[in-house]
Amino acid sequence: MNNKDKNNLPKDHFLYKIFNPDSITVFGANNNLLTTMGSMQLRNIIAGGFKGRIYPVHPRLSEVQGYKAYKSVLDLPETPDLAFLILPPMVIPEVMRECGEKGIKRLIITSGGFREIGEDGVELSQKVTQIADTYDMRFVGPNCLGIYNGWYDPEVQDTYINTMWIYEIPERGNISIASQSGTIACHIFWHCQDWGVKVGKSLSIGNELNIDILDYLEYFRRDPQTQVIGLYLEEIKRGREFIELAKRITPEKPIVAIYAGGTEAAERSIKSHTGAMGGNQKIYDAAFKETRIISTTSIKDFLYYLRTLSFAQENKLFMKGEKIGIITDSGGSGSMMTKTTEQLGLKVPRFSEKLQSTIREKIPYTASALNPIDVTFDTNFINLFKTFPKILMESGEVDAIIVYGVFDFDDVLKTMEESGMEIDDEMRQIGDMIERAVFKPMKRLMKKYSLPVFYVGPMPYRFEWYQKFISHEIPVFDMWDAPTKCLKILYDYSQFRGTFK
């Protein structure tokens, strides 16, 4: 985020202070992290390095998690920017009224027990809405986990505010998520960490009694910290307005959405989850098509698409066409990716004779230079990771490249050493050499040619070398299913953005 962006933060939007409170009061937390969800949530707020004031309110305790506790919100020494309520639903109206009397204007109500449980809940919902109107309050939820904002302090990398109960958070980035399910808002965080899916904001928005998906979308539209948007939807209340707003957003910021309704039992499930009504799949499909929202029913694809578009937005790296070059040290994965690329409607063109002969000079005679380039067994990883991609980039014959062959070189060397082989310094430096010769230069080349290069290998993300690619912000994949699907998504979005020649 540059200085210009910093000045463009939507500070006048009513959500700003919810995402960036200077002071917060918490109802429903105690000192037992295990059995009280709210305690874990307060713990997470503290763990994020919250630099403002925290005021726990508790009827009996004088101290909660190291903070002085107050018997009533009315006793607080100031009016906090935000109240966070994790209480039995029946006491919510009373507590809200007190918050209103104190002058608090922003709340997060995590409690369930509203319309999703039926008639009693509907009545409670009405009451809560009325109180909010009386005191001119806006609130997230109810029936939610609240918010994660990795940009809480833009100046300090590892600070954040996280009111959800999942205690791990991803590295912050340009992805913002609004989810009608807490699961999708925060259970994804472990995989985001492992895969390098840089989520900067993630919101569990619950029943949308007061603030709805359009409000969050409008905030994301204006927010320079948001460049890619992920949505988990069980219903859209203001359909026509949603479409109009999404149409304004997608040319600038791609949206990836999961719609969880549309089948009989799924409707039953979401009715009991958030009380939402869902709706016919065809209506949603039509809305997604009209707005150019990218939709999926797979949580893994959801994360991969967000990661792909995040990378593209961050580096202004869009595809200029549909031609994919594949470079591999393994025939099988190369063939499989070739097939899925074509099945997805992209091209894997046979290279020109000139390009083939350039490549052929550098590969074993048993290898292939047609596209895919199959180098077969070859320990020249600089060729595989840089020389060949660079040749393809310069040729103008491809618009994106997939490179298969990412191993954990340290793990390979360790295995060899344990088997009695002497590892000399030169070998030990293979890793360093790749780090120096590949990561930064390749990133530069990708930008120069506006041509993404995806790296792929067979090892799980837990291996350190995958994390090295990720820390250098180079797209890497732990297996060969996802890269072609991601290129298809990027191609479609690039075409829509008008980046084609």
Choose the stretch contacting its own copies; rule: CB under 8 A; options: 74-82, 169-177, 216-224, 477-485.
477-485
Of 207 and 450, nearer to its own copies (C-beta) is 207
1 CB burial (10 A radius; 0-12, 13-18, 19+) = middle
Of 151 and 216, nearer to its own copies (C-beta) is 216
CB of 4 to its own copies, least distance (A): 36
CB of 252 to its own copies, least distance (A): 27
Find the binder of its own copies among 48, 334, 389, 431 (CB under 8 A): 334
Please report whether residue 348 would count as binding its own copies according to CB under 8 A. Answer: yes
Choose the stretch contacting its own copies; rule: CB under 8 A; options: 215-223, 285-293, 296-304, 447-455.
296-304
Please report whether residue 370 would count as binding its own copies according to CB under 8 A. Answer: yes
Secondary element (H or E) of residue 324: strand 324-328
**Strand-pair partners of 401:** 325, 453
Q: How far is the C-alpha of 163 from the C-alpha of 404, rounded, in Å?
A: 40
Please report whether residue 340 would count as binding its own copies according to CB under 8 A. Answer: yes
The per-residue DSSP string of 222-273 comes to H-TT-SEEEEEES--SSHHHHHHHHHHHTTTS-EEEEE--SSHHHHHHHHHH
**Strand-pair partners of 351:** none
Find the binder of its own copies among 51, 68, 247, 268 (CB under 8 A): 268
Query: Do residues 28 and 85 touch, judged by C-beta distance below 8 A?
Result: yes
Please report whether residue 112 would count as binding its own copies according to CB under 8 A. Answer: yes
Please report whether residue 31 would count as binding its own copies according to CB under 8 A. Answer: yes
Q: To which residue do tokens 């890269």 refer? A: 483
Of 436 and 462, nearer to its own copies (C-beta) is 462
Alpha helices in 156-227 (DSSP H): 182, 189-195, 213-222
Q: How far is the C-alpha of 192 from the C-alpha of 194, rounded, in Å?
A: 6
Of 71 and 237, nearer to its own copies (C-beta) is 237
Q: Is 139 helix (H, G, I), strand (E, B) or coil?
A: strand
Find the binder of its own copies among 76, 283, 299, 382 (CB under 8 A): 299
Query: Do residues 376 and 366 touch, judged by C-beta distance below 8 A?
Result: yes
DSSP classification of residue 146: E
CB of 310 to its own copies, least distance (A): 19
Find the binder of its own copies among 6, 32, 127, 134 (CB under 8 A): 32
DSSP classification of residue 401: E
Q: How far is the C-alpha of 378 from the C-alpha of 384, rounded, in Å?
A: 9
Of 34 and 60, nearer to its own copies (C-beta) is 34
Exposed e or buried b per residue across 386-416, where buried means at least 16 C-beta atoms within 10 angstroms of its C-beta = bbbbbbbbeeebbbbbbbbbbebbeeebeee
Of 289 and 350, nearer to its own copies (C-beta) is 350
Query: Do residues 405 and 329 touch, judged by C-beta distance below 8 A?
Result: yes
CB of 358 to its own copies, least distance (A): 17
Of 309 and 348, nearer to its own copies (C-beta) is 348
Q: How far is the C-alpha of 200 from the C-alpha of 162, rounded, in Å?
A: 11
Please report whether residue 251 would count as binding its own copies according to CB under 8 A. Answer: no
Secondary element (H or E) of residue 426: helix 425-428
Residue 259, phi then psi, degrees to nearest 5: -110, 120
Site size toward its own copies (CB under 8 A) is: 96
Q: Is 355 helix (H, G, I), strand (E, B) or coil?
A: helix
Sequence-ordered list of residues with C-beta below 8 angstroms from that of 461, at least 6 positions apart, any chain = 194, 195, 467, 470, 478
Find the binder of its own copies among 28, 146, 182, 230 (CB under 8 A): 182
Of 40 and 137, nearer to its own copies (C-beta) is 40
Find the binder of its own copies among 258, 392, 398, 446 (CB under 8 A): 258
Of 174 and 371, nearer to its own copies (C-beta) is 371
Choose the stretch contacting its own copies; rule: CB under 8 A; options: 97-105, 313-321, 352-360, 367-375.
367-375
CB of 209 to its own copies, least distance (A): 15
Number of residues that this document lists for the chain: 501
Find the binder of its own copies among 349, 357, 394, 441 (CB under 8 A): 349
Q: To which residue do tokens 């990716």 refer? A: 337
Please report whether residue 62 would count as binding its own copies according to CB under 8 A. Answer: no
Choose the stretch contacting its own copies; rule: CB under 8 A; options: 50-58, 130-138, 215-223, 373-381.
373-381
Chain positions 205 to 244 lying near its own copies, rule: CB under 8 A, are 232, 234
Chain positions 309 to 328 lying near its own copies, rule: CB under 8 A, are 326
Please report whether residue 180 would count as binding its own copies according to CB under 8 A. Answer: yes
Chain positions 390 to 449 lying near its own copies, rule: CB under 8 A, are 412, 415-416, 419-421, 427
CB of 266 to its own copies, least distance (A): 4
Secondary element (H or E) of residue 402: strand 400-404
Please report whether residue 184 would count as binding its own copies according to CB under 8 A. Answer: yes
Of 125 and 368, nearer to its own copies (C-beta) is 368
